[in-house]
Structure 1
Amino acid sequence: MVNKQSSRFGVKGKRTERAIAELPEVIAWRKVELARHPQRPRTLDYIAAFCADFVELHGDRLYGDDPALVGGLASFNGETIVILGHQKGRDSRENVERHFGMPRPEGYRKALRLMRLAEKFGFPVVTLIDTPGADPTLPSEERGQAWAIAANLFAMAQLRVPIVAVVTGEGGSGGALAIGVGDRVLMMENAIYSVVSPEGCASILWRDSSLAPKAAAAMKVTAQDLLDGGIIDAIVPEPPGGAHVDPAAAAASLREALLTQLDELSCRYRLGTGWCVDELLAHRFVRYRRLGVFVE
């Protein structure tokens, strides 16, 4: 009798655990934790995995260089591209050197310089997004952080070459959006994208940062949420357990997704050795105008 009761309680306990694990806030918070995992592949890891002949370019030609945002020219599947993205560290020392992946104005101006270079020579642009947000310190504000982000948004909306943006980890607010305007926007399966961190949202709404999991679910930060909402175009699968479990498999998956998107854009907009710019920009305009449209 005792054994039967124990067995019954054990089954109920497992069902309860499964039910809890399937709660929206538990799912959302698990994605947040995976997106922030310290061993998650970074931009330079992905570049090393599927790009050849990468030549990193430095500096914004106005103030200096920013190690929180890296980029340059590379060969991808035999085609020259400009690839750039946020670069976090893996330990305390490297995170300090990389400004915890939070670019300063010179980082965003460097990104804009690289994108203008791509436009000049007709190279597609690939951006990899992984930042908690733009650097919020006083020196960055004094050097024009808001202007630098706004200038990138304005320029990317009109850039005369295809752009594919991928959120590989954290997509934090304007710091992410500053290199996130694209003809195609993808997210890794366990990435997140939001206007504010879950902790920040919880502190603002409920004066309690411990309610971050509830905020994460309410803000719809996951890739599936954003795909359902029409914000992104596709989800890039990750290995079971997350990209940090098998970085090579994660890189292979991202490479395949980029190949698909760049091939589609090339087939649609390639015109001889250049691009059908008017059509490219018209479709990019439509893509962003439809976001947030309210229909009764």
Structure 2
Amino acid sequence: MNGASRMETATRAGFAARGLMYLLVAFLALRSGRTEDGAGALKLLDSDVGRAVLAVMALGFLAYGVWRLAEAAIDSEGHGSNAKGLAVRAGGAVSGLIHLGLGVYAAKLAAGRPAESGGAEGGAATALSLPGGEGLLMVAAAALLATAVVNLLKAVKGGFLKHLDAQAAGQAWVKWVGRGGYAARGVVFAIMALFFWRAAQAASAAQAGGIDEALDWLTGWPRLLVAAGLGLFGVFSLVEARYRRINDPQVLARLQGAGRRLVS
């Protein structure tokens, strides 16, 4: 197995890890009303048997994070440099950083080491400790809002299907599972953007919030609907783990083109 094949396998493990994480978040919210972010959901696997799963998930999260950051940096999927393309790439970069953090967190749990996740509030507190911290939180809010818009557009237009093999993309249930999942993520990211904007305005990290706070902010049937949608996104992520086109010819051609530009 060459380097590209190993990276593809690890990235597919990342899609599967993301899927399991979202399924856990949805299960907790729907079964017991307990809201957790990704890190909180991973703690459910912190046991002797679960640590082996966490080790595999850690590798997958790290590979997925690297892949998303590289994708955003060199535009390997051809989103372009216009406003829409930059918004999509910015969302990909944010996703990459988040999954790198989840990879480190899962690795610590797998090694049996105490692992604390600062979550959204911890990240906001770190930003506020830096010069211009309020501005950094506003940038984070803008990036989260852009990510929300991208997810909602995917839900409406079904653009996510173009990244799947035809075998999966032609299935109606895959289309509707993906639409429900992306719509729920769009709502969650929009609420998180509001939280980070408020944190910037008040210069208070306590105002920031992640997936768990976003679900808590919702009540009644909207919370149940969004939680169910996150579960659908978990299922769609498992579909991507099998059918996502990662090393398709167009992406490889763009990577080669980027490489030629770097050495020229």
Work out which structure has the larger RCO, using CA pairs closer than 8 Å and 6 or more positions apart in sequence.
Answer: 2
TM-score where L is the length of structure 1 = 0.29
More helix by share: 2
TM-score where L is the length of structure 2 = 0.31
More strand by share: 1
